[in-house]
Structure 1
Amino acid sequence: MSTSLTPAQAWRRLQEGNARFVSDAMEHPSQGADRRAALAQEQHPYAVLFGCSDSRVAAEIIFDQGLGDLFVVRTAGHVLDTTVIGSIEYGVDVLGAPLVVVLGHDRCGAVGAATQALLTGRMPTGFVRAVADRVIPSLLTRAQLGTDGDGDAAGAAAERASRTLRLPDDDTLRREHVRATVQMLHGYSRSLAAAVAEGRCAVVGVEYTLAEGTARLVDQVGDIG
């Protein structure tokens, strides 16, 4: 049951599973009693899936995978913290997964809340605010601040309170948040960066479309073929 797939092979397997899901030809692999018994002592997932907690984006379903195939970590808005990074490192360094997938999706409530906070100044209440706080920096990388000047970064920071924030469309913001998460994960984790440099692992950013069921590549670090 050891994982011997390359990052490219792991990515191809996910693509094939998603194609089955989209065409309503799911195989529901590795979900029987024999598989359950075989996994009782150890696991060797071939991919770490870091996605949003949204109930409509269940990784094993949308990629048509079974028990032991995916090591799944989920937070609202796929926001990172130290325990998330540690969980992902465990999947790669201890379990040997050759692929990490950051999975975003359309109509994401966390991205929507962060967008509204930027546009209106009204933050969510309770600890939901902590989620929005971690999404906002991703969105600001694509925001434009209205000005009559040259719009340099220093001026933007100094005059932010008196200028009008203009955000791109929702699709662009969602993809930017996925890309930012991929880059932060690769930048924060030394062990993951080493695995990528050695060719043992790759990190990909994927956006999932709720109505169509498609999972499309939007960013990558490492070789996936």
Structure 2
Amino acid sequence: MPRSSPVVALDTLLSGNKRFVCGAPEHPNQDAARRSQLGPGQAPFAVILGCSDSRLAAEIIFDQGLGDLFVVRTAGHVLGTEVLGSVEYATSVLGTRLVVVLGHDSCGAIAAARESVDYGHSAGGFVRDVVERVTSSLLSARAAGLTTDNDVRDEHIRHTVDLLLDRSRLLSQQVDSGRIAVVGLGYALVRGSTRVVTARGIAPEVLNMDDQADD
């Protein structure tokens, strides 16, 4: 079962993404029998904290179905208390073993943060709050000498993973105990592929991160 361990859950996601990239999705768990099975309750094997971008539909790009993923989406995958509470609910109540932060290239929130930093263009309304939360990742990337779009995206993914564990004692304790893992994935819109950017609770040698092609 995908939920048997964080590693198995991640492998299930990455295998599904490979099917999606190759144009051979299986569309599992999307029939009437699955709907009936899920009536009494849910047991998703992964939490996906992703950007709200319309091109980033988790069940499609990971080739999963009903009840497989607990999806939380905000613009720029920024964190608020409601997001933290949703992720904690999935791991502590539903028993989910893997938390994924899913970022992507050509992110509008990151572009808006650049506009704000470089040209002083300020967003209006509550969009400003989203931009301000992303700006810290942009400034951190630049301080480290990272300037490309993908570099900034990856830094924002790492920053979000760190924030999850810094702000949620429950999640950090679950990682320390081996109960869950938190992984950051970067998604390439045109290619449709994902790559591991960072991971907490899974050994690097298990991920083979150095062998992954950059997008």
Q: Could you state the TM-score of these two structures normalised by the residue count of structure 2?
A: 0.91
Residue 126 (structure 1) shift: 1.6
Does 2:200 correspond to 1:201? Answer: no
Residue 84 (structure 1) shift: 0.3
> Distance in 2 between the 1:99 and 1:110 partners?
25
Contact 1:3 1:44 in 2 (8 A): no
Runs of 4+ in 1 over 4 A off after TM superposition: none
Q: Rg: which structure is higher?
A: 1
Does 2:186 correspond to 1:221? Answer: no
Does 2:107 correspond to 1:108? Answer: yes
> Distance in 2 between the 1:4 and 1:115 partners?
38
**Higher RCO (CA 8 Å, separation ≥ 6 residues):** 1
Give SS of 1:141's match: helix
Give SS of 2:195's match: strand
Q: How does 1:79-94 map to 2 (within 5 A)?
A: 79-94=78-93
> Partner letter of residue 91 of structure 1?
A
Contact 2:2 2:12 in 1 (8 A): no
Does 2:46 correspond to 1:47? Answer: yes
User: What's 1:148 paired with?
Assistant: none
Contact 2:2 2:8 in 1 (8 A): no
Give SS of 2:4's match: coil
> Distance in 2 between the 1:102 and 1:3 partners?
18
Consecutive unaligned residues of structure 1, counting only runs of 5 or more, are 146-165
Contact 1:7 1:98 in 2 (8 A): yes
> Partner letter of residue 176 of structure 2?
A
Contact 1:142 1:167 in 2 (8 A): yes
> Distance in 2 between the 1:169 and 1:27 partners?
35
Contact 1:3 1:96 in 2 (8 A): no
> Distance in 2 between the 1:94 and 1:3 partners?
17
Q: How does 1:34-183 map to 2 (within 5 A)?
A: 34-144=33-143, 168-183=147-162
Contact 1:209 1:215 in 2 (8 A): yes
What is the Cα-based RMSD across aligned positions, in Å? 1.6
Worse-superposed segment, 203-212 or 119-128: 119-128
Consecutive unaligned residues of structure 2, counting only runs of 5 or more, are 207-215
**CA distance change for structure 1 residues 19 and 3 in 2, over 3 Å: closer, same or farther?**
closer
Q: Could you state the TM-score of these two structures normalised by the residue count of structure 1?
A: 0.87
Does 2:3 correspond to 1:7? Answer: no
> Partner letter of residue 48 of structure 2?
L
Contact 2:78 2:134 in 1 (8 A): yes
**CA distance change for structure 1 residues 113 and 200 in 2, over 3 Å: closer, same or farther?**
same
User: What's 1:154 paired with?
Assistant: none
> Distance in 1 between the 2:63 and 2:150 partners?
25
Worse-superposed segment, 18-27 or 119-128: 119-128
Residue 143 (structure 1) shift: 2.1
Q: How many residues align?
A: 204
Identity of aligned residues (%): 53
Contact 1:3 1:97 in 2 (8 A): no
